[in-house]
Structure formats: C-alpha cells, structure tokens
Amino acid sequence: MAIVDDIRRFWDDDAPTYDDAPGHKPRSPAVLAAWTAAVAHLLPAAPARVLDCGAGTGFLSLIAARLGHDVTALDLSEGMLARLGAAADAEQLRVQVVVGPAELPPADFDAVMERHLLWTLPDPVAALRAWRAAAPAGRLVAFESLWGDADPLERLRGRGREWLRRARGGAPDHHGAYPEAVRASLPWGSGTSPRRVTEAVAEAGWRTARLVRLRDVEWASTAELPLPERLIGVAPRFAVVAR
C-alpha cells in the first residue's frame, strides 16, 4: 500500500472530529480575529486567486474567502473537503474544491498558502517547487508551528500539554495516532521549525523569504487556556512568506 493511501485514509477517518479541536477550528472570536488579521496581512490584496494546499476542513480557505479572495482548496482527502464544502455553503462563500495531491497543483494563482501540511509530505521541497509553478509571479504563505524533535524545549512543552490533557480526561486532537511507518518515512514527520521551513523554501527556488512570528494568534490562544495550561502556552506559530 502506497504511503499516500495511508495518509489519505487517516485524514478521511479524522474528518468527522477534526474540527472539534480548538486549534483546528477556533471557537473563540478573539482567536479567529487574530488569524483573520494574519491572513489578511500576509496574502496579497483581495481579490486575489489563492490556492490553499492541504486545505483540510477549510481553516485558511474560509478565512480567505471571507476576506474576498477567490479560493481554490486542494486536498487528498474527500472527507476533509466535504466538511469544507459544507462550511462554505453554510456561509454562502464560494470556494472551489479540488481533490488531489498538493504535489500536482492546478495553475494560475496569485498566492499559494498552506497550514500544517508540510510535516506530512514525503518531499516538502518538491511540493514547494511545484507551488512555484502554480503561482510563478505570486506569493507563498506557509503557516507553520515549532513542534516536536525540531526543538528540545518545545518537545518538552508538548509532552507537558499532552500530560495535562490526559490528566483532565480531555479528547485528543485526532481520532488516532498517525501510522508509525508513515511518520517514520516523512522527513518532517516528527517536527517542524522556522529553520527547516525557510531552508526548504529557499531550496525550492522561492526568493526573499520573510519569517513572521504570529504573536497575536499565540496571545489570543493562550488567553483562552485554563491554568496551568496557560503557563505552558501554545506552540510557537509562524509564517514564511516568499515570492
């Protein structure tokens, strides 16, 4: 069985509960407003033709569509995209949905964006290169977090968050664990960092990369947490923007 089939099946199975995790779909108007400000600030002026790679249930696509962009949402998982389509319909937003691999994107965009897709790609640099062809005169906006083995302190914090979640009997973020064989085969399957992302963006041929820390998103998200979770805080969020 190809790795891509395992990945697709995981996300199809995750689709029914994906939006239950606050990090996947904010319940708080303040957190949503902070994300909206970040997306508005980093994308070109609306209306632009924007491709959302690994769009999932539509976290970025819905924000961009509300801002007036012409959005195409690309994802491997029909289950995730079905949720996105339903959410867009409920708000009467127009988002074009495409089922397919991020490594073979459609063309003619002013910007390509992604959030939390790069870690689950077998070859992040190849995908970043393909996105250049999808927006040859355009912009890349990659929304990522610092987590896992990319940073020892963040790994400890992540363990602390997980320990507190279990102690409280809280629901996990996903329906199950990522298949270990899949995770082991992914270059960033155990963590991403600003350094990994900016290096890959440059290797893929994108120019003038800018690193932006999403402090307002972190601040608004941390303010929603109870103690002692608030002391640990949320994973550092950042965006890499290039052209």
In angstroms, give the least distance from the CB of 121 to ligand SAM: 6
Amino acid letter, residue 74? L
Question: Which of 72, 120, 192, 198 contacts ligand SAM by CB under 6 A?
Answer: 120
Q: What are phi and psi of 85, to 5 degrees?
A: -60, -40
Binding segment (CB under 6 A) for ligand SAM, from list 51-59, 147-155, 192-200, 208-216: 51-59
Closest chain position to ligand SAM (CB) = 56
Element at 36 (helix H, strand E): helix 29-42
Does 145 interact with ligand SAM (rule: CB under 6 A)? no
Kindly report the number of other CB atoms within 10 A of residue 20's CB atom.
14
Does 76 interact with ligand SAM (rule: CB under 6 A)? yes
Intra-chain end-to-end CA distance of the chain, in Å: 36
Residue number, 2 or 167, with CB nearest to ligand SAM:
2
Does 221 interact with ligand SAM (rule: CB under 6 A)? no
Residue number, 125 or 208, with CB nearest to ligand SAM:
125
Residue number, 144 or 154, with CB nearest to ligand SAM:
144
Residue number, 115 or 157, with CB nearest to ligand SAM:
115
Does 75 interact with ligand SAM (rule: CB under 6 A)? yes
Residue number, 102 or 140, with CB nearest to ligand SAM:
102
In whole angstroms, what is the distance from residue 81 CA to residue 99 CA?
8
From residue 220, alpha-carbon distances to 28, 29, 161, 171, 237 in Å are: 9, 9, 17, 21, 12
Q: Is 226 exposed, middle or buried (0-12, 13-18, 19+ CB in 10 A)?
A: exposed
Task: Using alpha carbons, select from 56, 58, 53, 76 the residue that is nearest to residue 130.
Answer: 53
In whole angstroms, what is the distance from residue 150 CA to residue 118 CA?
14
Question: Which of 56, 124, 189, 236 contacts ligand SAM by CB under 6 A?
Answer: 56
Does 237 interact with ligand SAM (rule: CB under 6 A)? no
Residue number, 106 or 230, with CB nearest to ligand SAM:
106
Does 101 interact with ligand SAM (rule: CB under 6 A)? yes
Question: Which of 31, 62, 121, 140 contacts ligand SAM by CB under 6 A?
Answer: 121
